[in-house]
Amino acid sequence: LRQKVEQARGRPVETLDGTPINLQLNVGLNLERDWLDELDITGVGLYRTEIPFMMHERLPTEDEQVEIYAQVLEQFKAGTVVMRTLDVGGDKPLPYLPMQEENPFLGWRGIRMTLDHPDIFLVQIRAMLRASIGRDNLHILLPMITNADEVDEATRMIKQAYYEVAEEHAEITLPVPQVGVMLEVPAMIYQMHAIADKIDFFSVGTNDLTQYLLAVDRNNQRVAGLFDAFHPAVLYALKQIIERAKTLGKPVSVCGELAGEPGGAILLIAMGYRTLSMNSYTVDRIRWIIRHSRTSDLEAMLERALAARTAQEVRKIVTLTLEQAG
């Protein structure tokens, strides 16, 4: 496989009928560099900043964060890096910031926590901006957005941090980062128009979107059988999102686990998604499937999948298409 991958290196990733697909990486830690060159990725679609926060015994200082983020931006300087602001709470507690909640997944997580802590949020944004000096590949992503007010507040603080850092470095032009919002709380599917003017891109988090759309805890073994992104309702939601994003003229990518699953990737491509971000170990497989699929066949498959009544039926339809691709 390694040999095959090497032979394919540097070629665009596209379907048999020429639909180009951007493959990107989800990362939380820095990766070995020589290994990266083989992946044919166009950048990092999701850098989870909570991982370095979890590895500290206290909040990392602004300078410590600058160093961490600069490494990531440098390592992937050939492409864009989407850095998500701290997304703790839910299943990701910080040991030094205890939260006791009966419903942590419906509680104080992601942007809700950081907007209540401008001290944490501003320091993080300042660190990202400082790390981006001399580079031009920083994108900032806001997790768990539930309403337009949060977007207003977060973008206001990003502007504040930008002016602060720009003033401190008057000798250079500070690159302006693109700012995006995660679509993972179902309500936002119906509010995309309300925030589109304030942001540059959307990114779909299928893990939480599935959890909240189906009201199934993504980590509870007892209901694990109900957590299924192939549920026809999830497919309809994903289809609506891409249609709305197109109408609004905003780019949208997918960074949830579904993008790294063979069946999920082909469903997303059939819907019209062209940027998929995934864990490094799934990239080879997804690239291979893309290169052995025809977009027109995938679109026909999607028609059938959307007519299915159950996730099981969707899975059967998708598996058949994957088998035909080899």
Q: Which stretches of the chain bind ligand PEP, using CB under 6 A?
A: 46, 48, 87, 184, 205-208, 255-256
Q: Which does 234 bind (CB under 5 to 8 A by kind): Mg ion, ligand PEP, none?
A: none
Q: Which does 256 bind (CB under 5 to 8 A by kind): ligand PEP, Mg ion, none?
A: ligand PEP
Cβ contacts of 86 within 8 Å, gap of 6 or more: 49, 50, 53, 110, 113, 114, 120, 121, 124
Nearer to ligand PEP, 73 or 238 (CB): 238
Nearer to Mg ion, 208 or 228 (CB): 208
> Which residues face 195 on adjacent strands?
none
* Closest residue to Mg ion using C-beta atoms: 208
Q: Could you tell me the smallest distance in angstroms from the CB atom of residue 185 to Mg ion? A: 9
Nearer to ligand PEP, 123 or 258 (CB): 258
Tokens, residue 5: 């991958």
Q: Could you tell me the smallest distance in angstroms from the CB atom of residue 86 to ligand PEP? A: 11
The contact set with Mg ion (CB under 5 A) reads: 184, 205, 208
Closest CA to 111 of 199, 30, 44: 199
Q: Could you tell me the smallest distance in angstroms from the CB atom of residue 304 to ligand PEP? A: 25
Nearer to Mg ion, 87 or 284 (CB): 87
* Closest residue to ligand PEP using C-beta atoms: 205
Q: Is 270 helix (H, G, I), strand (E, B) or coil?
A: helix
Q: Which does 44 bind (CB under 5 to 8 A by kind): ligand PEP, Mg ion, none?
A: none
AA letter at 172: I
Nearer to ligand PEP, 255 or 311 (CB): 255
Q: Which does 206 bind (CB under 5 to 8 A by kind): ligand PEP, Mg ion, none?
A: ligand PEP
Q: Could you tell me the smallest distance in angstroms from the CB atom of residue 300 to ligand PEP? A: 27
Contact 242, 273 (CB under 8 A): yes
Q: Could you tell me the smallest distance in angstroms from the CB atom of residue 207 to Mg ion? A: 5
Contact 271, 242 (CB under 8 A): yes
Cβ contacts of 233 within 8 Å, gap of 6 or more: 213, 214
Q: How far is CA 289 from the centre of its chain?
A: 21
Nearer to ligand PEP, 46 or 86 (CB): 46
Q: Which does 23 bind (CB under 5 to 8 A by kind): ligand PEP, Mg ion, none?
A: none
Contact 138, 162 (CB under 8 A): no
Q: Could you tell me the smallest distance in angstroms from the CB atom of residue 207 to ligand PEP? A: 3
In the chain the beta strands, taken as DSSP E runs, fall at: 22-27, 43-48, 80-84, 138-142, 178-183, 201-204, 252-254, 275-278
Tokens, residue 120: 């944490």
